[in-house]
């Protein structure tokens, strides 16, 4: 039941955000609220997650920190994802990397893991999860550019971005399956 409540709350939260970004008069406000929304979505996730134990806490912290570091490497070296820069919409940055970016990865990984939990014990779970992440990123890229979250050099999203999303998220889904 808690999974269903969390899913409904997350869907409503993000639908509200989409509507807020689509209305020109409210777009600047929703740009400012984006980092707050990520923090609140993460708080909801942590509140509703069961079991509340050290293993879950360490996994969540690991995802947040590892994904922040992956993004930090990507944005500062272009070795991961390609040549991109973060805008102002994701809030405060450390070394050109938004502090909330690890939360974004955690939210996405968690929600996809919820939707695919019936296959979590199958060998192909990491492939399905990573494919869902890449599909989400493919849809999100134009939205992120239009809302000032990030942008790509020359306005072109490289194939490397999608390949690296698949590899990074596939590893995280593999960890979920193993743990």
pLDDT for res 1: 67
pLDDT for res 120: 84
Please provide the DSSP assignment of 98-164 as one string. ETTHHHHHHHHHHHHHHHTGGGTTSTTHHHHHHHHHHHHHHHHHHHHHHHTSEEEGGG---HHHHHH
Please give the residue that has the higher pLDDT: either 33 or 129.
Answer: 129
Residue 97 has pLDDT above 70, yes or no: yes
d(CA 103, CA 110): 10
CB contact set of 44 (below 8 Å; sequence gap of 6+):
6, 9, 10, 13
* DSSP letter (8 states) at residue 42: H
Six token digits for residue 16: 């509200």
What is the residue range of 52's domain?
2-178
Domain total of the chain: 1
pTM (two decimals): 0.88
| Nearest one of 48, 32, 37, 42 to 15, comparing CA atoms | 37
- Read off the pLDDT of residues 4-48 as tens digits, 9 standing for 90 and up: 777 777 778 778 877 887 888 988 888 888 898 899 889 988 888
- Read off the pLDDT of residues 35-94 as tens digits, 9 standing for 90 and up: 988 998 899 888 888 888 998 899 999 999 999 999 999 999 999 999 999 998 899 999
């Amino acid at each position: 039941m808690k999974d269903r409540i969390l899913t409904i709350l997350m869907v409503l939260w993000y639908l509200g955000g989409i509507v807020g970004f689509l209305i020109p008069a409210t777009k600047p406000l929703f740009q400012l609220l984006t980092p707050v929304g990520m923090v609140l979505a993460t708080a909801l996730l942590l509140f509703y997650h069961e079991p509340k134990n050290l293993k879950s806490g360490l996994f969540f912290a690991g995802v947040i920190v590892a994904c922040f570091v992956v993004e930090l490497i990507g944005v500062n070296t272009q070795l991961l994802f390609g040549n991109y820069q973060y805008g102002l919409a994701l809030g405060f940055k450390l070394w050109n990397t938004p502090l909330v970016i690890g939360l974004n990865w955690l939210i996405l990984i968690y929600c996809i893991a919820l939707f695919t939990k019936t296959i979590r014990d199958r060998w192909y779970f990491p492939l399905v999860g990573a494919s869902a992440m890449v599909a989400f990123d493919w849809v999100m890229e134009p939205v992120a550019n239009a809302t000032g979250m990030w942008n790509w050099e020359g306005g072109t999203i490289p194939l490397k971005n999608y390949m690296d999303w698949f590899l990074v998220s596939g590893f995280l889904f593999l960890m979920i399956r193993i743990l």
